[in-house]
Amino acid sequence: MNQSIIKALSLLDFFSEERPELSLKEITELVQLPKPTVYRLLSSLEYCGFLTKTRDSDYDKRYRLGLKLMELGQLVSDQLELRKISLPFMKELANDINEVVHLVIVHQDEAVYIEKVESTHALRLYTRIGKRSPLYLGSGPKLLLAYLSDEKRKAIIEKTTLQDFKKDLLSKDRLMMEIEEIQRNGFSVSYGEQDEGTIGISFPIYNYYGEVIASLAVSGPYYRFEGRNLENIKDKTRIISKKISSELGHR
């Protein structure tokens, strides 16, 4: 582990409601490290936005917690609220169709799986909460990519080398055609994009402002998604995605 990072982040623990602002001298006394070392750590935290310098003189340097922490805290709060609201509906869907159900969001130009409800089948797909995936692979990530702004989506695609899970190159023109289809249909279907022999179906989850903030993704092996069962799973996933969106204030 990087001890410098650990030491720097540990300085944040000295700030509290009772001590919202601290001087370099106070922090040095609390942490019991050499003053030049503490100043270097504080400067790194300030550069990253975790601290804000409120006074800067040769004799007195003072710091407060920075807005970056508020931004990260809001992100965590939003995710917790989204998971809390979505989970009962995800359980309802998983119990109904007996397939794995995921909740997927965008974070730092990647898809992140923030919630999961398993099926009872012996043959299951291995995914974990916190899993990251490129936005162009899988029904859940690709649906989120389709609902980004044109500018944001273009920037992500242009800077990315598109590869499938076997590391084979993928066509950007083909991806754009699939994105246009998702936008027309209002849902996404993928075949074997993250795991061979699997299928994924995803529908958008909207917030109060009509923004797509997550995708509700159902996946499993091909043979369990054939014929009328495919349409049944699709319909039930659509209904649950609308229920979650409604709970989030979307009308």
Domain locations along the chain: 3-65, 72-247
Return the half-sphere exposure (C-beta side, CA atoms, 13 A cut-off) of residue 53: 15
Q: What CATH number belongs to 3-65?
A: 1.10.10.10
The owner of tokens 């340097």 is 61
Q: For the whole model, what pTM was predicted?
A: 0.74
Per-residue pLDDT at 9: 94
- Residue 150 tokens read as 């044109």
> Residue holding tokens 């859940």?
140
- Strand order of the β-sheet with 110-117 is 132-133, 110-117, 100-107, 212-221, 198-206, 188-191
pLDDT at residue 212 tops 80: yes
| pLDDT on residue 173 | 87
Is residue 124's pLDDT more than 80? no
Q: What is the pLDDT of residues 76-122, one digit of tens each?
A: 777 889 999 999 999 999 999 999 999 999 988 999 999 999 999 86
163 near 238, Cβ under 8 Å? no
CATH annotation of 72-247: 3.30.450.40
72-247 and 3-65 share a CATH fold: no
In tens, the pLDDT along 34-69 reads: 999 999 999 999 999 999 999 888 778 999 999 999
